Structure 1
């Protein structure tokens, strides 16, 4: 015997029974996620884990709320001290200015020199106002200014409106914080009114504070709040940060009104603490307090990470304890479930044997009347219910197929990829016998083929949603981009013309993604619509546009002529002696004569021109883009000569008629449809009065012929 080498696959197959025997001897069970025991274990652990998470979330939210409360109170306490110190510093300077202003006499305001001398006598003001002092006249113009230090003078410490407010209201004013245009430094001024002995306001005294130099605010904002927090002073009028322990944000303008809801609230006078996101996208705890007697507010900002630093420090230890407790719970629950569910596991193995061995399910024996016995009894009842439901399902499928087969339209069901999975009998008959396929080739749209490929030859139609091709529309419905899709398309042969429609509807929710396609022959409806349109817009006798369509085209051509600044000519044509012909030879000959007249008028016009019949023996012609009246009169004369030639009827009778033609130009003879038609009608009647068989131009606007430089003769005018 020749031995064959044993492959790796054979070794793996042979080793499986050995592994199972070893596991059974050691009483070790593998973890199978699909088992009831595993699910109960996971479910119980999930409840425990969720309970711990809910508790942890509650405790965390409680700690967060308490930390926010206590941290906010601490911030407000620190902020109250800061706001009080700022207010005290401002009040000291307002009091100083008020005291100095009360010493100013009338002669001190008589000239810049006397005013400057008065200020020089009080050098102590330089310590309070490092930007110098300013005196204003009663009209708001500066009288003089003085610098006690070596700094350059501030060009405009207060704007005109602020000075006028001090002079008009007689109250001290803390001006806007702004950047001096000359020095490019941040400054603000404090001003008080100057009164004479009678109490009348005779000027104003102001002190300027430069924020780039040491001032009374410098010592207040030299330190951070906590590790990463900062103090801020903001001018609410311009939303300008003019003092801060965070030097990187000095002179920063906060978002304007309507751009940040919380900053709008702060600027409106909010006094409190709130957790919000600042303009830089950082979540911070902000405490705000308005500064009395000013339009400033002070704030202290602490980043969220520092607010909740205590919680962050506790998390690692809490997680370690939670992990240890979870491991103990896993061991305890696994041991408990393994012992409690052993009878149920035996019953499950018995039931699984029916499926694996392809046996007909039969009622299981009930060993004892406990929970396991109740489970087996319930399973036996379920087998009976499933048998009944299977019969109902089969009946439902037969009913659905019968309904689909009773529908005259061809119906197919597509899967998510556009492959045909089911069709009704009408579809089978149509595409197995029809010589005129409705979409693609007949061999392309059977069960198992891709309907999207068969629809690629169907172009987009005006009725298509979004102007999509058929394959694009079907794909959009399958993907969920469209709720439904409908289009119509022609499929003509050498012997007949036919139109079809495709309607695509998605499968109901809860069913596997797909769509239902319905194909119908809409030839009769399309032909009926074409006939209705022809009756609505065209004269049935001559085939020319009727009055309604002529009116629409006249409006369109007038709008186009107005945009392109060109002329539009209207020829109003009336047949002479038509009624005697109609009365003498009968209506049949009269109708034939009208058809011949329409044909001759068409032959005299360009493709871009429009000929129409208004009714009876009245016709009209629209000539867009005519250079002037000569061109319009030339076409009218051509039509007149054509209609003056003899007509030979089918009965070999010779008929002789003529025409009177009125010519009107837009915009020369009318600015509206009604005016232009009226002008052409009047010109036509003038042609009749001149002896018929004539062409007449509407009179009154000689510039109508300016394009050519020629004008019609008097015989041609109305």
Structure 2
């Protein structure tokens, strides 16, 4: 039964309706029973009072003349009523008449709540003087008879209520089953058997064309039609996707462009074989090794890759840059062009191309453009480009600290004037070699023109390290420079130093501060260094 209650809407709705009707019917039947019972008791008493009123005049005469025979006839007439138990007519202390009906054994009397005393007494007055009391009648109703009559009447009322409730429940259940639950069950059974991709429709129940059930069937049929259409479209799209996927896989596997996916941390998620070939990696690279292969290949340049990822995510556009890497097993230098574009959910698509040949041509042309032809170090254009690159890096990492050395050679003009420009060129080349020996390969050296040089040094912990570099340059520069077998010249170096402070990187301000510090050295004797200070 519990299974039917859970799975059958017909059974559940019928059960609930019957339960509600039975409960309400029971409550009303109980109330009606006790109401009818009390009503019958009251009606019985009223009949007793009416009987007394009927014989009151006769009793008055019998009592006035003390006629026991007439009094006995009155009491005998009253006792013939089935609902009278006994009658007593009393004149003063004398009983003129007494009649009693034999009590039937086994008739238990149930006292009703709030029921008044069973005995009814009536004072009888003289027929000639309405104020003169001549006797009184004491009438005792037959409680058992009255109760049986009341119970019978109440039971009839209850029976009628129960019959009414049963008929009403039957009618309601039949209406609910035939008009509501059965159509819904039929629709549910049809839906259960319905195959979504067949396009079959539900039949509209007769008589429900314009009501909610008809609307439900219409909506379901509309959904089935829409579902079939969607399934057909999805099937066509899946076929087209499979065809496109095969074409893309052919291109993906055979193109010479490396294609890969990475996340915001630079971890490689997937790639094609061209990606491995371009990086000089084995085709059977392990999954764990492949995740970090791009960052390992770009060691020392990871920051640039992260900057590209941030820019692609922020601008929503493809970002491309060139990288120089050393490829195993011979550590051959190779130039790669990497293009990053944002897809979704922190995933980026990347393209990897080997541009070593093109880069060699470009670098050769660029080298000529940014290189000082005499000394081989960067010229002013190269210095400007280096400052632009530093500015971008500082914006991404405010912890980067850059020291700028501005150097002017002392006594260089005298060498040129006395020994000629050829001797001056030898001095410039010699000083460039001093700088290269003193500095790291990663430090920038540039010649701005004439005898003016510039150095950019980064990753120094404190100004004391910059002072040490300046002292080394000055000491090495002070050594005599041979021009020929007979001639050697002496020069000096005046050095002004400035340094950047995090995001406050300002190219023009760095140059101005270094220049001011250098001329402060010149004013105080030359061949020395000074770090710019606001004091």
Under TM normalisation by the shorter chain, which class is it? 0.3 to 0.5
TM-score computed with the length of structure 2 as normaliser: 0.38
Larger Rg: 2
Quick check: which one's helix share is greater? Answer: 2
TM-score computed with the length of structure 1 as normaliser: 0.30
